[in-house]
């Protein structure tokens, strides 16, 4: 009888959400929309990423970042949010940790806004609507594989 070991796993692919040593990249989602947070969570978890926390505004996002640091790999940051917008939260996070990997996610794709975010230290910028492919590609380019 053939066992599993008889078949080399030629199609096996390591999920992009896993680090080379096999543990998942840890993600913080900052978004005031329950729908977007859920959608991101589903996309990321399906590829092996681990969503460790969600924050509903920029201020909460900044505070959660400090709380979780250094056990955190990527942050997704909405822009239009109550209390503190995503650009301000991005700046705060970058001041706290200059190596932070923050991906902006917004329905706004205005060039100067994108530029402003990238200049402030964002590693990537995703314009909504979100789809699985778009999100995973940008994540992959940020976690650097």
Confirm if 121 and 98 have CB atoms less than 8 A apart.
yes
Nearer CB in complex with another protein: 34/118: 34
Nearer CB in complex with another protein: 33/45: 33
Residue 32 engages another protein in binding (rule: CB under 8 A): yes
Q: Which residue reads 């505004």 in tokens? A: 57
Residues counted in the chain: 145
Residue 140 engages another protein in binding (rule: CB under 8 A): no
Indicate which single residue of 14, 69, 95, 107 sits in contact with another protein (rule: CB under 8 A).
107
Distance separating alpha carbons of residues 142 and 125, to the nearest angstrom: 10
Element (H, E) at 74: strand 74-77
The contact mask relative to another protein for 58-87 (x = CB under 8 A, - = no) is: ----------------------xxx-----
Residue 134 engages another protein in binding (rule: CB under 8 A): no
Phi, psi for residue 89 in degrees, rounded to 5: -65, -40
3-state secondary structure of 82: coil
Residue 33 beta carbon to another protein: minimum distance, rounded to whole angstroms: 5
What does the binding site for another protein look like in residue numbers (CB under 8 A)?
32-36, 38-39, 80-82, 106-112, 127-129
């Amino acid at each position: 009888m053939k066992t599993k070991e008889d078949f080399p796993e030629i199609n096996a692919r390591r999920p992009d959400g896993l680090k080379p040593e096999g543990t998942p990249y840890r993600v913080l989602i900052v978004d005031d929309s329950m729908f977007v947070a859920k959608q991101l969570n589903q996309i990321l978890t399906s590829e092996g990423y681990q969503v460790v926390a969600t924050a509903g505004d920029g201020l909460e996002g900044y505070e959660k970042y400090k709380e979780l640091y250094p056990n955190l790999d990527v942050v997704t940051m909405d822009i239009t949010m109550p209390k503190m917008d995503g650009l301000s939260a991005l700046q705060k996070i970058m001041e706290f940790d200059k190596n932070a990997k923050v991906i902006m996610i917004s329905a706004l794709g205005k060039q100067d806004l994108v530029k402003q975010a990238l200049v402030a230290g964002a590693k990537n910028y995703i314009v909504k609507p979100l789809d699985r492919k778009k999100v995973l590609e940008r994540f992959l380019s940020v976690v650097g594989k």
